[in-house]
Amino acid sequence: MGKFVIRRLLMMIPTFLGATFIIFFLSMAMPGDPTVGRCGERPCTQAYIDAFRARYGLDQPLIVQYGIYLKRLLTGDLGINYYNNSVIHELAIRYPTTLKLAVIAILCEILIGVSAGILAGIRRGKFIDSLVTVSTLVVIAIPVFVLGGLAQMVFGIKLHWFPVTAGDGSWYQLIMPGVVLGSLYVAYVARLTRTNLVDNLRADYVRTAYAKGMMPMRAIGLHAMRNSLIPSITYIGASIGALTSGAIITERVFNINGVGFLIYRSINQRDFTTLVGAILVIVLIYMFLTLIVDVLYGYLDPRIGHE
Amino acid sequence: MAADDKTYEHLLDVRDLHVEFRMRTGVAKAINGVSFHLNEKETLAILGESGSGKSVTAQAIMGILDSPPGFVTGGEVLFQGVDMLKMPRKARAAMRGPKISMIFQDALSALNPVFPVGWQIAEMFRIHRKTNSSDAMKAAISLMEQVHIPAAKQRFKAYPHQFSGGMRQRIMIAMAIALDPWILIADEPTTALDVTVQAQIMALLKELQDEHDMGLILITHDLGVVANVADRIAVMYAGRLVEMAPVEEVYGQPRHPYTIGLLESVPRLDTKRGGVLPAIGGLPPNLLAMPGGCPFNPRCRFAVDRCRQGTPPPLEALDDGTRFAACWRVDDPEVADEAHRASEGDL
Amino acid sequence: MSDELNPLAEVVVEAEIAAVPNKLPRIQRHNLLVPNLSSAGSSDSGVTFAGGAQGEKPRSLGRDAWDDMRHRPLFWVAAAVALVFILAAAFPQLFTSQDPKYCDLIYSRLPPRPGHIFGNDFQGCDIFARTVYGARASILVGLCTTAVAALIGGLLGTLAGYLGGPLDAVLSRIADIFFSIPMLLAAMVAFAVLPVPPGAALPRAVIQIVLVLAIFGWPNVFRLMRAAVIQTKPQEYVLAARALGASPLRLIGSHIVPNSLTPLLVVSTIDLGGYIIAEASLSFLGLGLPSTIVAWGRDISNASGLGYIRNAPFMLLFPAAALCLAVLAFIMLSEVVRDALDPKSR
C-alpha cells in the first residue's frame, strides 16, 4: 500500500508540472496590459511600466518566469498579485465559502443521490425507477446556469424560500446554490448507484445469500449493497474535485464571493498571478482526491490490490 | 428428528412441479410437471443439457428462483412431508441451511467478493443460530478444515479471489454443510473446474455425504461424473423428466430415445479410432414455441406419427416400478435394440 | 458543464468492453430465450452432450442493437427531437421567416403573443427566431467537437493501447495532464488569452471553440479506446488473426477497431451533450462566441439578470428550454444506444 501511494505520488509530479505549465503559459500569453488603469486617467509612464514589469518578473523569458514561480511554490508561496495582495490570502478568505458550497453539494449527493439510486434499483422497472431514470437524465441535460436561474425564479422570487443571491456566504444563503451546484453530480450518483445495484441484485452471490437462508433485508441490504455502494462512494469522493471548478458558474449566478468568483474576476482583470495560483490549487486538490479515491477503492474492494 | 417416528414416505418429494418464466417476449414454460423423490442418504443425479430446466428445478426446490421473471405455477415440494411451497417466506428461508442447502457451478461469482470467506461461512451460524462471532469463527475454521482447506486458520480472513477454483468450491461446500442439512443440492459443482480437481471435489462431496448422512441431488450434464456417484438418475429434457432409474439400469438398458442418444454420444475406450462419434442432431426446443406432441420428436430417430400428435404422459412406471420413462414407444423392440447397442462398452 | 467525471461513460466502458468481444451469451439468449437457463456454458469437460451446438445464425451486434432500439419509443422520440434541432441548425428558415438580428426597441421585453410566440427580448428581437437560429452554433460545436475529440482520442488511444511501451506511457501522461485541468476552466483561460475577434464569422468562431474544447476533451476518448484496445488485443480471435500473419494495420483495422467502436459511439454521444453545455457555459460567461453570433448561451446570459428573471422570465425560459431539450435528446439517444448494446440491461 505504501509503495502504491509513493508510486502514485511520483506519477503525479509530471502531471502536475505539465498542468501548471499549460496554465502558466496560457495565462502569461493573455493579451491586455495589467498596468492599464493603474495610473488614473492617463496611460502609465514607460518608467512605471518598466518598474512594474521588473517587479513581477514580466521582463524575463517565460521559461525563467516559470522556474522562478516553481521555486517559490516549493516554499508554499503563490506570489503577490498585481493588487499587492498575497494570492494565498486571497484564496484563504474565499475557500471557506466554496467549501461550504461543496459540503452542501456532497450532502445532496449522499442523501438524495444514493437513496434515489437505491430506491430505483430495488424497485427496478417500477414507477419510481422510471421517475429516477428520467428525472436524472433531465437534470444532466440542464446546464448549471439555467438551473440556477430557474431556482432563483421559483424558490427565490416566487416562493421566497431562499434569498435570490448569497452575498455574505452564510450556510442558509448557500443552500440553494449548493443544491444547484450538486445537482449534476446527484444525478450521476443516483444513476451510478442504480446501475450497480441492479447488476449486483442479479449477481450469483446474492442468490447464494438467499440459498444460505437470508431474508431480503440482509441479502440486499448487506450483500448486494456493500458491493453496489463502493463505486458510488468513490465517485462522490472524486466529484469533490470537479465541484470546485463547477463553482465558477454557480458562484457567478448567485453572486457568491468564493474561489470560482475569484477566478472569474482574475481572468477579467488579467490578474494572472491570482489565476495561476487558484487553478493550481484546484488541479492539486483534484489530483490528490483522485489518489485518495484510488486508495479508498483498494480498501473497500479487496479485489483491487495495491502492490 | 429421529428416523423411526417419521410420518413421510420420502425425504424430498417433488410432485408435478411447474415453473414458467414470464418475459417481454412471452411465457417460457421451463418446467412442465416434474415429479421425483429423494430418499435419505441417497444420491440422485439430474442429467440434462443447458436449458433443460435442471437448474431451474433446483432453484424452485430451494425457493430462490429469480422472481420475476420466474414463477412456480403448480405442484408440491414436500420436505419430510411438508409442502415448502405453501410455507410463509420467513419459515421457508429458515429451512435453507439447516434443512436443505445448495452449491453452485461458479464458486467465484457465487461467493461475495467483498467479504472474507471465513466471514461468509460464519454468517451461517450467526444468522441461523445467533452464534456469537468468536464461536462462529471457530466453527467456520473447523468447517474449512473439514473440507480440507490447508492452513484454514490463516485463510479465514482471505477473500474469494485469493483462492483457486477448487478451493473456492470447497468453501462453498463448507458453507452449505455448515448447519448439517438433510439435503444438499449441487448444481454443476465441478463443471467450471479442471478434471483432476473435479474428481477431488466429487470425492469430497461423497465423503461429506457419508459423514453427515445427507441426501444429495447432483445436477450435471456430465455423464462421467454421474456414473460413479449416483444411486439413481433422472434425465431431463425441455422441462420434463424423460427417464428415471437406478444408475446401472440407465447405463445398462436406457429406455428413452433421448437417453439412448446421450449414451451413444459418449466417447468410449473401444470406440474405433477415426470413427465418427454419433451426436443427437438438432437443437433443444425453444421453450417459447414447443413442438407439438413429444418435445423430443423433432430430434428423435424413432419418432412416429403418434409422437408428433400427443405428448406422452409424464414418467410412467415400468416393469418393477423402480424405473420410469416418458415415451410412446418405450416397449418397442426396435428402441430396445438400439438401447442395447448404445450401452455396450465401458464408460 | 464539462464531463470529465461522467459515470455514464465509465459504466459504458466496462459494460461494453465486457460485452463486445464475447458474443456467446448473446447467441445463447436467442436460442433459449430464458437467460436463467443458460447456466451451464462450458462444454469442454470431457463427456458432454452433443446436442448443444449453437445453430442459429449469429447476428451482428449492431444488427441486434438496431432491432432492440427500433422497438423503443424513447429512441424515436429522442431521434426526432435531435433531428429537429439538426434541421434547425442547417435550415433555420424552415422554422421561422423572421430575422433573429432584426430588433426593434419598441418591442423590448414584450411577452409571448401571436406573431411572436416566444415574445421579444430586451433589444426587441424575436425570441423564437433567436432560439431557432441559436441551434446552429450549439449543434455545430457539439458535433464538430465530438468528431475532433473522437479522432484525436481514438487515434492516440488505439496507438497507445496497441503499441504499449514508452509511447503508451508518454501519451498516457499527456492525457493525464489534460484530464487534470477541468475543461471549462481551461477553456475560460484559453478564450481570455485568445478571444474570438469581435465580428468574426460563425465558422471561424466555431473552429476556435471546437479546437479548444477538443484539446481538453480528448483524454476521455483516449482512455476509453486505450482500454478497449488493451482488452481486445489478447482476445483469441485477434491472436488467431495474428498467428495467420495479419499485418498490424490490418489487425487494428479489421479486428480491434470494430470491436472498440461501440463504446466509442456511446461515449461520444454522451460527450456531445457535454460539449454543447460547455459551449453554452462559455457564452454564458461572456467568453467563446462573439456577441454578434446568435447563440443560446449568450441569450440565456442576457436574460439572467435578476430584474429580467423577475419581470420577463420568458426571455430566459425559451432559449434555456431549447438548450436543455437539445442536450437531453442527445443524452437520451446515447442512453438508448447503450442499453441496446448492453446485453445485461435486458
Report the pLDDT averaged over residues A138-146. 89
pLDDT for C30 equals 27
Residue A85 CA neighbour count, 13 Å, CB half: 15
* Interface contact A212-B124, CB threshold 8 A: yes
Structural domain count of chain C? 2
Mean pLDDT, chain B, whole residue set: 83
State how beta strands B82-83 and B70-79 pair. Answer: antiparallel
- H or E segment at C181? none
User: C297 and C188 in one domain?
Assistant: yes
The residue of B56, B64, B106 whose CB has the most chain A CBs within 10 angstroms, and thus the best one to mutate to test that interface, is B64
Whether B222 and C36 lie within 8 Å, measured CB to CB: no
Residue A83 pLDDT exceeds 60: yes
Q: Give, for all 346 residues of chain C, the pLDDT tens digit.
A: 333 445 444 434 333 333 333 322 222 222 222 222 222 222 222 223 333 333 344 456 667 777 777 888 888 999 999 999 999 888 888 887 788 777 777 777 777 877 777 777 777 788 888 888 888 989 999 999 999 999 999 999 989 988 888 999 999 988 988 887 888 888 888 888 788 888 778 888 899 999 999 998 899 889 888 888 888 887 777 888 888 877 878 887 777 777 777 778 878 888 898 899 999 888 888 888 888 888 888 888 887 776 677 777 787 888 889 999 999 998 888 888 877 776 554 4
Residue B130 inside a domain? The answer is: yes
Most B CBs within 10 Å, among C27, C33, C64, to test the B interface: C33
What does the pLDDT read at residue C214?
93
List the 129-158 stretch of B: residues with Cβ below 8 A of C. Answer: none
Closest residue of chain C to A183, computed from CA coordinates: C1
**Partners of residue B243 on adjacent β-strands:** B235, B325
Is residue C46 one of the residues assigned to a domain? no
Tell me whether residues B283 and C40 touch, CB distance under 8 A. Answer: no
Flag whether C68 is in a domain: no
Please tell me whether residue B244 adopts helix, strand or coil conformation.
strand
Contact flag A205-B111 (C-beta cutoff 8 Å): yes
**CATH number of the domain where residue B217 is located:** 3.40.50.300
pLDDT category, A178, cuts 50, 70, 90?
Answer: very high
The C-alpha atoms of residue B110 and residue B104 are separated, in whole angstroms, by 7
- Is C127 part of any domain? yes
What total of structural domains would you count in chain B?
1
Per-residue model confidence (pLDDT) at position C110: 73
Question: What pLDDT score was predicted for residue C189?
Answer: 83
Q: Is B346 within a domain?
A: no
Joined grid coordinates for residue C180: 487534470
Instruction: Give chain A's length.
Output: 307
Rounded Cα distance between A101 and C290, Å, is 31
Least confident stretch, A39-43, A130-134, B153-157, C32-36: C32-36
Neighbours of chain A (3+ CB pairs under 8 A): B, C
CA atoms within 13 A of residue A159's CA, in its CB half-sphere: 9
Residue linked to cell 482574475: A266
Q: By residue range, what is the domain housing residue B186? A: 97-230
Give the domain range for residue C116: 73-345
A288 in C contact zone (CB under 8 Å): no
The answer to whether residue B206 sits within a structural domain is yes
Residues C126 and C222 placed together within one structural domain of the fold: yes
Q: Measured between CB atoms, does A140 come within 8 Å of chain C? A: yes
Residue A295 to residue A238: CA distance in whole angstroms? 12
Does one domain contain both C229 and C329?
yes
What pLDDT shows up at residue B301?
A: 76
Residues of chain C found within 8 Å of residue B188, distances taken between Cβ atoms: 39-40
Q: Report pLDDT for A115.
A: 94
Q: Is the pLDDT of residue A176 over 70?
A: yes
Question: For B256-269, what is the mean pLDDT?
Answer: 76
Tell whether C203 is covered by a domain. Answer: yes
Q: Among B112, A219, C335, which residue's Cα sits nearest to residue C345?
A: C335
Beta strands in chain B (DSSP E): 12-23, 26-38, 43-47, 70-79, 82-83, 100-103, 183-187, 215-220, 232-237, 240-246, 316-318, 323-325
Please give the pLDDT value at position C342: 65
Is B151 within the bounds of a domain? Answer: yes
For the CA atoms of C39, A220, A186, A234, what is the dihedral angle to 10 degrees? -80
Question: Which residues of chain B are at the A interface, by a Cβ-Cβ cutoff of 8 Å?
Answer: 59, 62-64, 66, 89-90, 93-98, 101-102, 104, 106, 109-115, 123-124, 127-128, 159, 161, 172, 175
Query: How far apart are the C-alpha atoms of B319 and C165, rounded to whole Å?
Result: 72
From A253, which residue of chain C is nearest by alpha-carbon distance?
A: C304
Q: B300: which 3 cell numbers?
A: 428423435
Taking alpha carbons only, the member of C257, C57, C65, C254 closest to residue C155 is C257
pLDDT band at B271 (very low <50, low <70, confident <90, very high): low
**Interchain contact C310–A (C-beta under 8 A):** yes
More confident residue, A254 or A241: A254
Q: How far is C205 from chain A (nearest CA, A)?
A: 18
Average pLDDT over all residues of chain A: 84
SS3 A61: coil
pLDDT at residue number C32: 26
Q: How confident is the model at residue B272 (pLDDT cuts 50, 70, 90)?
A: low
pTM score, whole prediction = 0.79
Whole-number Å distance between alpha carbons of B165 and B190: 10
CATH of the domain at C341: 1.10.3720.10
- Report pLDDT for B315: 67
**pLDDT tops 90 at residue A186:** yes
B61 has pLDDT over 70: yes
Regarding whether C202 and C281 lie in a shared domain, the answer is yes
Asked if residue B172 belongs to a domain, the reply is yes
Please indicate, yes or no, if residue B86 is contained in any of the structural domains: no
The residues pairing with B21 across neighbouring beta strands, listed in sequence order, are B28, B70
Residue A82 and residue A56 in contact, taking contact as beta carbons nearer than 8 Å: yes
Candidates B70, B283, B286; nearest CB to C51: B283
Question: Does B318 have pLDDT greater than 70?
Answer: no
In a domain, B292, yes or no: no
Q: Which of B51, B66, B224 sits opposite C38 (nearest CB)?
A: B51
Where does the pLDDT of residue A40 fall: very low under 50, low under 70, confident under 90, or very high at 90 and above?
Answer: low
Q: Would you call C327 an interface residue with chain A, using a CB distance cutoff of 8 Å?
A: yes
Q: pLDDT tier at B282 (50, 70, 90 boundaries)?
A: confident
CA distance C239 to chain A (A): 27
Is the domain of C22 the same as that of C137? no
What is d(CA B279, CA B285) in angstroms, rounded to the nearest whole number? 16
Cross-chain Cβ contact C284/A249 below 8 Å: yes
Q: Is B275 inside any structural domain?
A: no
pLDDT of B290 above 50: yes
Q: Chain A: give the shortest CA distance to residue B110, in Å.
A: 4
Nearest CA in chain B to A214: B93
B-chain residues within 8 Å CB-CB of A202? Answer: 66
